[in-house]
Structure 1
């Protein structure tokens, strides 16, 4: 059945204030410290993934929550400029989420005020809109997470495919995924997230990333693990595939994993092989690091 969109991204969107050259320990006591650079950019795993997918030519819609405030208008404006449909985004009375990223080389600390994010629910998500449904930032959106198994199961019954990137769990509990992962076609954690989730679900110790991916894949999804400088690996139907990291010197790694997600989904929807999808994803993630913020350097297919 033809769908209006190729991809619906469900999740988080917020402004990111990215401060480069940040001190490892900010000085309190009313002291002012100078950093090497600062940028106001679009943030949120879901928003960055949506922009990356649109940049790769997918007809992309975004469903999430923002506030009726300057931050919300900024978010919606940037998404629309990037070719993402925002007509299904809920504008509410609670404030838009805000994030400050303290970047030190390739490492970063992330401080987020969740604002309206915890109030997104499955009732806010349109049904039957896209061929593929991607969900981001599971642990920042507990009301959405509670109804996610049913939402994804319904989309799959209607012929859509699904994917999930949980991102980090600020509470460190990693709960609630046992019922969700069987309804996910593609699971997209990074190596630390994969290990933590496998340990929570299976009581496993400090396993290698390949073992964690295989355990998670036993629940049903293809497991695609972002592994930093080691590139990425994919586990699907017992087959393990790896792709090396791209030869780039990063300017800013914020959002690289989200651009990776966009690349993998776009390649998968084109019918490419698992290895090809992984190489496209790694390249998208690598190229996205060549400018500040998560969206400025996202590639097109011509760039790839």
Structure 2
């Protein structure tokens, strides 16, 4: 089957205001506190993944919702400037989502106003346009989540492969994932997310990350888990591979996990082995931390 795109990313896009050197305690009472740096950059897990994939040479489209406002125009322009097709984005009468990232070294706090994100549904998403469909930020988009198992099943019947990065659940409940994971070819959590999902589905405690990945993989998907300074691991059908972290001096870790997703998908669509997919993903995630924001330092395929 001929596809218009290699990858369709379905999910979130918003401006990120990234403040570096943020204090651990915020002083209310109209006190002004100074930080070491600030940047206005493209944010949203889906948007960053789409940009990373386009940078790696994939024909990439993004489907989501943005507002008819300055923030929405910034998001669409930033995506288009990085080679991502935005013709399937819905322009909403509600405001664009906004995020403030308070970064303290490698750690960060994230404050998000959801705006129009919860109103994206599967009815907004085109069918059969890409070889692979990736979904981001499951818990920020309840309107999308409710129809996701059926949509992903439809795409798979049409020949596409699928992946999911839930990202964090602000409510901390981690509900509703079992049916979705059965329709996903690759699940891409970080270590804490993987354990939280497994705990909700199977009642497990703090077992090894390998055991957690195997439990999740028993539902069907390959499970590629980001493990920070310890690199990453991937489990599929009883086979396990690990990849060490790439040594870089990080400037900003925002979006590193989303760049990891882009690298894994790009390598998979090139027909590479599971281990090589993981190595490409770890390299993409690590190299993306060389500059502020999630997209400024994303590597090309040649750089890998």
Aligned twin of 1:286: 286
Q: Deviations over 1:124-154 (max 9, x none)?
A: 0000010000000000000100000000000
Aligned twin of 1:269: 269
Aligned partners of 1:285, 1:54: CA distance in 2, in Å? Answer: 15
Aligned twin of 2:220: 220
- Give, in angstroms, the shift of residue 108 of structure 1: 0.1
Aligned partners of 1:205, 1:256: CA distance in 2, in Å? Answer: 27
Aligned twin of 1:109: 109
Aligned twin of 1:6: 6
Aligned partners of 1:33, 1:230: CA distance in 2, in Å? Answer: 34
Aligned length: 304
Classify the secondary structure of the residue corresponding to 2:178.
coil
Aligned twin of 1:49: 49
Classify the secondary structure of the residue corresponding to 1:180.
helix
Aligned twin of 2:151: 151
Aligned twin of 1:195: 195
Aligned partners of 1:100, 1:165: CA distance in 2, in Å? Answer: 21
Please, which runs of 5 or more residues in structure 1 have no aligned partner? none
Aligned twin of 2:238: 238
Q: Aligned ranges for residues 1-304 of structure 1 at < 5 Å?
A: 1-304=1-304
Aligned partners of 1:175, 1:96: CA distance in 2, in Å? Answer: 25
Aligned partners of 2:254, 2:263: CA distance in 1, in Å? Answer: 16
- Give, in angstroms, the shift of residue 208 of structure 1: 1.6
Classify the secondary structure of the residue corresponding to 1:263.
helix
TM-score for both structures, normalised by structure 2? 1.00
- Give, in angstroms, the shift of residue 249 of structure 1: 1.1
Q: CA RMSD in A?
A: 0.4
- Give, in angstroms, the shift of residue 118 of structure 1: 0.3
Aligned partners of 1:209, 1:31: CA distance in 2, in Å? Answer: 43
Classify the secondary structure of the residue corresponding to 1:151.
helix
Q: Deviations over 1:66-115 (max 9, x none)?
A: 00000000000000000000000000100000000000000000000000
Classify the secondary structure of the residue corresponding to 2:75.
helix
- Give, in angstroms, the shift of residue 165 of structure 1: 0.1
Structure 1 ranges of 4+ moved more than 3 A: none
- Give, in angstroms, the shift of residue 207 of structure 1: 1.4
Q: Deviations over 1:26-46 (max 9, x none)?
A: 111100000000000000000
